[in-house]
Copies of this chain bind each other. A is one copy, B any other.
Amino acid sequence: MSKPTLPQGTRDFSASVVRKRNYIFNTIRSVFEVYGFQPLETPAMENMETLMGKYGEEGDKLIFKILNNGLAEGATPEKALEKAARSRESFEKLLSGKNISDITERALRYDLTIPFARYVAMNHGQLTFPFKRYQIQPVWRADRPQRGRYREFYQCDADVVGSRSLLNEAELTGIYATTFTKLGVPVEIRINSRKILAALAELCGGSDKMVDITVAIDKLDKIGLEKVKAELAQRGLDENQINIIERYLLIAGSNTEKIEQLRALASNNATAAQGLEEINFVLNYQPEDAPLAEVVIDFTLARGLNYYTGIIFEVKAKGANMGSIGGGGRYDDLTGLFGVPNLPGVGISFGVDRIYDVMEELNLFPQEVEASTKVLFFNLGEAECAKAFQLAQELRARGISAELFHEQAKFDKQFKYAEKKGIQYVAILGSEELQNGTCKIKNQSTGEQNTVAQADIASQIQ
């Protein structure tokens, strides 16, 4: 048989990568928890109708569908297909996508938001609102694989639903600030309000311009001001309107200066005033103990998704060449699509794959995260091995990871194993040590070697 491979866009994570990823997940999780967010886990597969139509036409195409299978005795994908194709008519319906449900009824989760909405809609009678949940699970997208884009990747979300209070935005800002400070990643937490963008649309003649303006502004980072202006012109905005937008995009300085400039530009606009009030509220609640995070107003921040209605967030790592490593915002209606209207909320997300890359680039993972086995006991004879097994057990009971070489072998081979696995200490227990109740401990990184009483091994290596 030929050498096996992995499906395109998927990855194996070996020990050191799992450890580093878990360090990120555990840090985020611990912050979610101290802010009172509760964990939720939903299944990998959802019913097709739960997912379809929620992510736009492009999104629908990227959802992984699962072939019907095993529901009935002897059912197979072939039988499901055969059933669907039993007549010319039903086969044509199948080909035209009209009874695709004959062959697929379930699909893999595409994000964590829709499964969360589905969960809230199914359980809203039992939940305590405001409901604060976090969720850390993989999602699957049939995207064309490319550098940094995978078909299976983790999302890491926190949402509060059932509250319009801006305190939630303030707390989510605090979660970002605390988490990145704990991870050692210096960040800018950029905030804006969709209401400011709505105000800009009003200044440009009407809220029907909102989509055109946000879509163009969203590209500012990538294509620059001149091309944004060209795109706005193409989208039918006149010189005067583009002028206003240019003045808006050129707003700069400290948070206070930016607010002043916006006030000058949008004086007397009530929507802008509301947006500024939201932003000021969040700025006033900046956490004090998060020195690595800076909360900055970014009026050019638009966020692609249309469902945002209030404060929007985006996090950028300072000193690393990387897109946003977090984002989110306020929405008006989480569960309306599932028959439960009027449930507003606000949420944020961490981009764990990118955070990982930034931490690698800036060398931010603490050394102990990668720690392998702490000590390897050599295997030097039957009685020696029995004693070493017992001593290893004693270390393990104290939480020290220990291995015993699996067979009697030459010193060389056992040293090589310790070296390859990056084990810091080797414990050598030969016939002499067995007799004396001692053990040689060698520090593999310094080369230092000591003979200690067997009872002192733990203190020697800690």
Contact = CB atoms under 8 A, between A and B. Distances in A.
Nearest to A39: B18
Contacts of A70: 61-62, 142-144
A287 B391 CA distance: 11
Given A108-B66, A393-B174, A18 B41 contact: yes
B40 A14 contact: yes
A50 B163 CA distance: 48
A128 B417 contact: yes
Interface in A66-114: 66-67, 69-71, 74-78, 81-82, 85, 91, 94-97, 100, 103-106, 108
A314 B301 CA distance: 58
Given A41-B13, A64-B66, A106-B7, A1 B163 contact: no
Contacts of A400: 34
Interface residues on A, range: 35 or more
Contacts of A403: 35-36, 132
**How many copies of this chain are found per oligomer?**
2
A44 B6 CA distance: 11
Contact of A122 (B4, B49, B67, B130): B4
Given A44-B44, A168-B406, A289-B393, A69 B76 contact: no
B118 A35 contact: no
A356 interface: no
Instruction: Select the residue from A36, A39, A386 with max chain B CB neighbours within 10 A.
Output: A36
Contacts of A81: 81, 94-95, 103
A69 to B, nearest CB: 4
Contacts of A410: none
Interface in A269-322: 284-285, 287-289
A170 interface: yes
B69 A67 contact: no
Nearest to A419: B128
Interface in A317-369: 337-339
A440 interface: no
B42 A12 contact: yes
Contacts of A337: 1
A414 B402 CA distance: 50
A117 B94 CA distance: 38
A19 interface: yes
B285 A167 contact: no
B69 A407 contact: no
Interface of A: 1-7, 10-15, 18-19, 22, 30-31, 33-36, 38-47, 49-50, 61-67, 69-71, 74-78, 81-82, 85, 91, 94-97, 100, 103-106, 108, 118-119, 121-123, 128, 130, 132-133, 138, 140, 142-144, 151-152, 160, 163, 165, 167-168, 170-171, 174, 178, 284-285, 287-289, 337-339, 372-373, 376, 379, 385-386, 389-390, 393-397, 399-404, 406-407, 417, 420-421
